Structure 1
């Protein structure tokens, strides 16, 4: 009989081979039913209103609201008062006996739901409590000849307006008008308010007029109260608004300034014209001219009215002050059209390390998003230095007046990114903040990489920098209701970073850049100026990219599950190696492997997500005649895998984390 001798290393390899062979046979005989991980998780069937392909259906409809507003600022009392006329169109298939409106300034009272649900210690969305609307002279009528009703009912931040005749379905109209006034809060829940500066007060005005709530095919009237963290869901329409202020004030607002020849000097008009053609920032009001009305104002007493218009938008906001430095530059758009980037800020915010670069940042961000995803639709993009840390409105941002450098780039980039989500793609922020904050955070990272060849790229975080969050027992899911239910400590992850990371995983790991970009761009184009739901987004991405992603939407967006792919065993086998892989958490994932060989060559291997349908372990035969040196799962470290210690073989190799 022939004698066989084994070294310790040889015995180890033989043992691994036997174990792998046993597991290979077991895989075909012992199965775990993982179908629940791959099955549908929410109602996503199509209808005549919303198709199964994630597009508006053949009978999709949405209502519209056009606004004419005239408002006056009383600087002595900090009161804004005005009149509003709303022309409302009911495109729904049912007649409406009443309409619901939003009175968001009523959040600033002692007895508002928002105040009463704010913790004693306060939070970001605490605000003044001595404000609220005064509403008078309300009139509502159906059509041109309908009888006038003044009946209305105010409940917290909502107002129900009753009509004497129902608004007919499929295009019926109503006109609603009223007078309103409110005291401008100093602390406006980090969305609006007042900022004192050396040269005067900056008034940042948002949520400043009564507005229509959305009536849609999903919920009917969307009547969730305005509490704070949950933002907005609004109808689209045209705005014609005029703001009357003291003569020494400057006003910047959403949309086009249509009477600039009346409110600007000839020198400022020349500078405006130069800025509209310049890639470099041009002053309209210089630092030396601030608060010098004899130079900057065409009239020297009384009040002046600034007139703005904006079409096909869901909202407008404005800012006014006598303390503004004002500069601008041209925005180049892919179609060959141009828009104008503007910045308004006080002297203490000026300088090239601070707001002196705001217009450059604004131009860079908007040009990137227009080229990459969808062209910017508005005539101006204005960044305003404010008491607000960062808040977005169509064509206008409020950002912290003390922001500088990387921080100012970051907040400017983020707030202007919101013009795509939710200003162009009009999702319901009050219910699904991840559809605007998360999507926007996702596109922000690519704008940062592109700006000035990555000037601020080094400040971006790795997907694996927050792994402790995913195993924290107090974490909350992306689908958590944003107000009250969602902890302030979890808001940044649940609404911003986790959904953004989910899209990054889809783009850079699951689908690849081309398939994802085709689908995501198509989603934006398809739902521009419309009201998509989460199901519409999921359906559209799957239909355009050509991939069933139930397993990912369910675990990442509508669950609190985690990812942990592992290399269990690697054993030599005739013609190659048996690699035993495990899925140790509940979100299945395709497996990307980097095999390195002793001769210095490498090989990329991709296994589909379907390997996990039968169970949580899979044997892969790596066919090669080379000597294997190492294996690494997810070599580019894209996945937020909660345990990187089992990502490599042998376990002693060093995996470099970003």
Structure 2
């Protein structure tokens, strides 16, 4: 019997090898980028002992003019040079210059328009520029499109040198601001959603030096960290919500609203600070009845700030419960048009749930408040504050709220470069959104991340790799390359390749290691591999850097005595092989083969030892992988 078994086995294997030429698949498994460590970024994916990053602190005082729709004010920047080289100049971003008719972003916008276009009658007016290092003062600067280069007479010293830059600035607030900021006219007034609203220092890092890519539209932002002290003067009847903590509540809120805020800070249920029937009633909602008020905020260790201002706000809030007994506050500001019918009256509930889930699951929320603003912006995030479409409701409002506040982790806490590696921002966030949506209210809403959409995209001949630059990606592909495909890649890592425990250990470790720092793709790859203990070169290479697909198949099932030889084929890139066998008596068994079975050939024969009669073999029975051909994943035994 043993001789007969061996004879049949040899015949099948020999026949298979005759059909398949020798193939060494080492190229699929080998290193594909330069991932060796240095003293700045270690091979284990951590910041090295000599890691450094520069930063800047800001003092801002501005005034919003609702008659002319303008912002004007001053900024003083204290720049910290922790790099090992002297700096004779500093680059700043002037994103408001994108709203000029001759800006690069305007000139590269398709004539038919797309999501990231906007007004073209704006741009900065800059004056009184003063740059100081030590006792040296300089007024020389150069503006190129959305970048500003400020020069110093005396270079900023290396390894801890400081310089200050101050200037006056003003501009017209765009009505349509590339779906990131702008103005929304509603019945009771105008909602101003203010972002990219001040000159912001560009990042100088150990990878590219100065990161000075122009602001075109699709690519977002790459910013350093610092402390912000900012004052916003608005008409007396406006309410201002912003990143950070309000410093002068007694000056800008009457005692009744202060009382309600204290109630909200202790409540797990939403408390109205301004009720719907109080909108426009300044006798109740404002401490004075004419003139202007200045709102003062402070935000620490953040990469940016944003704010919203309007006299049309309903305003509500609730307590956020954080790990180790810490607290923050969730707030929502929205007009009457957004209230009711399962819409923005639930915004604070959504914000609170989102922040609490991510804080418990991945990393504690670090900011004092999380504010959701109903806006003409479909969905955009800034530290501690988000702008979401004012007409959204139900699943749509939950989805955008949860997504924008997920960005507080990527890229606000983990400060990746959104302009170049958008998948490390949007993709990681879309991944964590999948699980928060499952958890919210026992699955009240469905996640937007699904296997069918990924498979359909991966069959599209016009698809592009995840790593395509966001400003270059075809607009029809950006949702997949930036959001859904990288997110689904992480989902496969967690659910299929590594398992929950190993993945979660590695992912949380990555967040902790790079919180308030600037990781690169290789830092992420190295960190995940070192903590999980798994070489994943084959996965990063094919899923993130190519258009290659997954296509595993069951080719044949051959009985040998009481056992069976199962022949599997890999028509795509390597993946671990998980399959389920079903016997005629209804019993099922699950088996797993490691990714290494494909190292020397795209065909693998597995001996299934059993004393039962086999009925069916199914690859990936839970349909987790984005296998592009399901028809060859099942074999019915005749």
Is 1:492–2:479 an aligned residue pair?
yes
1:66-215 pair list within 5 angstroms: 66-143=57-134, 146-215=135-204
Cα pair 1:329 1:340 within 8 Å, conserved: yes
Q: Deviations over 1:603-654 (max 9, x none)?
A: 11000000000011111111111111111000010001000000011189xx
Q: Deviations over 1:449-486 (max 9, x none)?
A: 000011103x5453133422112111111111111x21
1:156 shift after superposition: 0.2
Q: Distance in 1 between matches of 2:571 and 2:16?
A: 18
1:563-642 pair list within 5 angstroms: 563-585=550-572, 587-642=573-628
Q: Give SS of 1:577's match.
A: strand
Q: Give SS of 2:192's match.
A: strand
- Which of the numbers 544, 548, 552 marks the counterpart of 2:531? 544
User: Paired residue for 1:348?
Assistant: 337
User: Paired residue for 1:228?
Assistant: 217
Q: Distance in 2 between matches of 1:434 and 1:379?
A: 27
Cα pair 2:615 2:637 within 8 Å, conserved: no
- Which of the numbers 309, 312, 318 marks the counterpart of 2:298? 309
Q: Distance in 2 between matches of 1:461 and 1:95?
A: 46
Q: Distance in 2 between matches of 1:137 and 1:371?
A: 47
1:21 shift after superposition: 4.0
- Which of the numbers 516, 528, 541 marks the counterpart of 1:554? 541
Q: Distance in 2 between matches of 1:16 and 1:300?
A: 95
Q: Give SS of 1:438's match.
A: helix
Cα pair 1:24 1:619 within 8 Å, conserved: no
Q: Distance in 2 between matches of 1:49 and 1:461?
A: 35
User: Paired residue for 1:48?
Assistant: 39
Cα pair 1:16 1:570 within 8 Å, conserved: no
Q: Give SS of 1:441's match.
A: helix
Cα pair 1:464 1:639 within 8 Å, conserved: no
Cα pair 2:449 2:488 within 8 Å, conserved: no
Q: Deviations over 1:266-300 (max 9, x none)?
A: 00010000000000000000001101112110011
User: Paired residue for 1:22?
Assistant: 14
Change (3 A) 1:580 1:23: farther
Q: Distance in 2 between matches of 1:132 and 1:422?
A: 27
1:70 shift after superposition: 0.3
User: Paired residue for 2:56?
Assistant: 65
Cα pair 1:255 1:395 within 8 Å, conserved: yes
Q: Give SS of 1:59's match.
A: coil
Q: Deviations over 1:342-390 (max 9, x none)?
A: 0000001011510000000000011000010000000000000000000
User: Paired residue for 1:8?
Assistant: none
User: Paired residue for 1:480?
Assistant: 468
1:335 shift after superposition: 1.4
Q: Give SS of 2:62's match.
A: strand
Q: Distance in 2 between matches of 1:52 and 1:572?
A: 48
Which structure 2 segments of 5+ residues have no match? Answer: none
Cα pair 1:275 1:329 within 8 Å, conserved: yes
Q: Distance in 2 between matches of 1:428 and 1:39?
A: 26
RMSD: 1.6
Q: Deviations over 1:96-119 (max 9, x none)?
A: 011111000000001100000000
Q: Distance in 2 between matches of 1:164 and 1:195?
A: 44
1:231-630 pair list within 5 angstroms: 231-457=220-446, 460-483=448-471, 485-585=472-572, 587-630=573-616
Q: Distance in 2 between matches of 1:291 and 1:19?
A: 86
Q: Distance in 1 between matches of 2:516 and 2:22?
A: 48
Change (3 A) 1:18 1:50: closer
Q: Distance in 2 between matches of 1:173 and 1:633?
A: 60
Change (3 A) 1:468 1:352: closer
Cα pair 1:71 1:81 within 8 Å, conserved: yes
Q: TM-score, normalised by structure 1?
A: 0.95
Tell me the matched-pair count: 634
Q: Distance in 2 between matches of 1:542 and 1:466?
A: 24
Q: Distance in 2 between matches of 1:651 and 1:208?
A: 66
1:574 shift after superposition: 3.1
Q: Distance in 1 between matches of 2:417 and 2:108?
A: 21
Q: Distance in 1 between matches of 2:9 and 2:52?
A: 63
Cα pair 1:275 1:282 within 8 Å, conserved: yes
Q: Give SS of 1:122's match.
A: coil
Q: Distance in 2 between matches of 1:479 and 1:220?
A: 21
Q: Distance in 2 between matches of 1:651 and 1:487?
A: 45
1:599 shift after superposition: 1.9
Cα pair 1:16 1:569 within 8 Å, conserved: no
Q: Distance in 1 between matches of 2:456 and 2:333?
A: 40
Q: Give SS of 2:365's match.
A: coil
Change (3 A) 1:182 1:25: closer
Q: Distance in 2 between matches of 1:264 and 1:227?
A: 39
Cα pair 2:614 2:637 within 8 Å, conserved: no
Q: Deviations over 1:396-442 (max 9, x none)?
A: 00000000111000000000000000000000000000000000000
Q: Distance in 1 between matches of 2:448 and 2:94?
A: 38
1:31 shift after superposition: 2.5
Q: Distance in 1 between matches of 2:196 and 2:11?
A: 66
Per mean C-alpha deviation after superposition, the further-off stretch among 519-528 and 591-600 is: 591-600
Q: TM-score, normalised by structure 2?
A: 0.97
1:22 shift after superposition: 3.0
